[in-house]
Amino acid sequence: MRPCRSESRVCRISWMMAGTVDAWLSILVLGALGTGVAYIMNFNVIRAAGAQTASMVTYLVPVFAVVFGVSILGEEISWHEPVGAVLIIAGVALSQGLLRRPKARVPAAAAPSAHASGSRPEPGRNRA
């Protein structure tokens, strides 16, 4: 039951603020521990592996969110979650240099020479 019988704005605000000490403490703990620890860990990853690797870690968060949601919370999974995970992991692997396109082999007879590329100076001109 509401402790304030009036419908004034002050009464409504005081009712909303009453009993929220646990909520405010939860917010502070979540901010200090969850965000603060993650911030420190992110800077440790930047220091150890570089900024590119640290930014790639954040792309994997949705993949782990789906995995934990399915395994812990029993959420349903449809076709687009695994497809998205494959795209994310492939993008991270590509940006890290783990996936490379095979180089096309050019036969030696078809390979362009240095003279055909235009690097030879014209006759009568100085090379400087």
pLDDT band at 114 (very low <50, low <70, confident <90, very high): low
13 and 33, same structural domain? Answer: yes
% residues pLDDT > 90 (the chain): 23
95 and 56, same structural domain? Answer: yes
Spatial distance between the Cα atoms of 44 and 32, rounded to a whole number of angstroms: 17
Q: Each residue of 94-104: pLDDT tens digit?
A: 888 887 777 77
**Which structural domain range is residue 33 located in?**
7-49
Mean pLDDT of the chain: 77
Closest CA to 41 of 27, 33, 65: 33
57 and 26, same structural domain? Answer: no
Total tally of structural domains belonging to the chain: 2
Spatial distance between the Cα atoms of 55 and 39, rounded to a whole number of angstroms: 13
Q: Each residue of 76-89: pLDDT tens digit?
A: 999 999 999 999 98
pTM of the model: 0.48
Closest CA to 54 of 41, 45, 44: 45
